[in-house]
Amino acid sequence: MKILVAVKRAIDYNVKARPKSDGTGVELANVKMSMNPFDEIAVEEAIRLQEAGKVEEIIAVSVGPAQCQETLRTAMAMGADRGILVQTETEIQPLGVAKLLKALVDKEQPGLVILGKQAIDDDSNQTGQMLAGLLGWAQGTFAAKVEVGVDTVDVKREVDGGLQALTLKLPAVITADLRLNEPRYVKLPNIMKAKKKPLDIVTPADLGVDVAPRLKLVKVSEPAARAGGVKVADVNELVAKLRNEAKVI
């Protein structure tokens, strides 16, 4: 079977985002961008399934500007076989991304789609679930363990109280949580090899998908900063402050 993996180019997880001074958006000029960390986990899982002989081909897909080619090359350097960029300069919201991915799923007919559970820029945590809904497929979100069988997949999910085990009918959509695996480091020879792997570029119009945003961004602002606190000398001073000043214990 084929696996389709969706990867997003997002702000690097070490960078603290700030609103633009005019409040129209987030300052992203000259900010370091990387593959969304949960999508790295998704790519890694696809590769491990391929290494286990469960998967013939891994197709990495990204939606966004031309620079997303770098993100796809990273996925291919990790081990994806080819890439598809749905190129667009405009902002695409999760529902639009899900519709684009559905169009590619209809075309490529993968048995499994794996995505990160959440992108660390807009923090939506929606695309995988939306894609599963549009396809009428089962969804295994926040996956901590994935075992692919013949026509089903067993998924252990991270839920609020612990873990939940589900069996899903294939084809299915899975979203990766933190503990699913530890993504491999990309080796230099593989970066060179990835440059030769096929990368197709299409547009939302090519796929016949309306990606007009549904949510209007009115403004962005900075949350109220916490007032700076004090350092205490020792535990006795700390307990005294908590009892008498903050009155929280």
Q: Which residues, 31 to 60, sit near another protein by CB under 8 A?
A: 38
Q: Which is nearer to another protein, 196 or 214 (CB)?
A: 214
Site string for another protein, 124-163 (x = CB under 8 A): xxxxxxxxxxx-xxxxxxx-x---------x--xxxxxxx
Give the span between the Cα atoms of 72 and 78, in whole angstroms: 10
Binders of another protein among residues 169 to 198 (CB under 8 A) are 169, 172, 177-179
DSSP, collapsed to helix, strand or coil, labels residue 22 as coil
Tell me if residue 138 falls in helix, strand or coil: strand
Task: Give dist(CA 146, CA 164) in Å, integer.
Answer: 12
Closest approach of Cβ 14 to another protein, in Å? 7
Phi, psi (5° rounding) for residue 98?
A: -60, -40
CA-to-CA dists, residue 169 to 44, 154, 173, 193, 209, angstroms: 22, 9, 10, 35, 27
Q: How far is the CB of 188 from another protein (least distance, A)?
A: 26
Helices 127-135 and 94-108 pack at an angle, to 10 degrees, of 50
Determine if 207 is a binding residue for another protein (CB under 8 A). no
Stretch that binds another protein, among 70-78, 82-90, 197-205, 213-221 (CB under 8 A): 213-221
Which of the ranges 13-21, 52-60, 63-71, 186-194 carries the binding residues for another protein, by CB under 8 A?
Answer: 13-21
Question: Residue written as tokens 């873990």?
Answer: 163
The distance of closest approach from Cβ of residue 213 to another protein in the complex, given in angstroms and rounded to an integer, is 8
Among 53, 189, 214, 244, binds another protein (CB under 8 A): 214
Q: Minimum Å distance from CB 34 to another protein?
A: 14
**Closest distance of CB 172 from another protein, Å:** 8
Q: CA 159, CA 194: separation in Å to the nearest integer?
A: 36
For residue 83, give both structure tokens.
Answer: 């890439």
Query: Which positions ≥6 away from 147 have C-beta within 8 Å?
Result: 153, 154, 155
Instruction: Please give the residues from 62 up to 101 whose contact with another protein meets the rule CB under 8 A.
Output: 93-95, 98
Count of residues in contact with another protein, rule CB under 8 A:
83
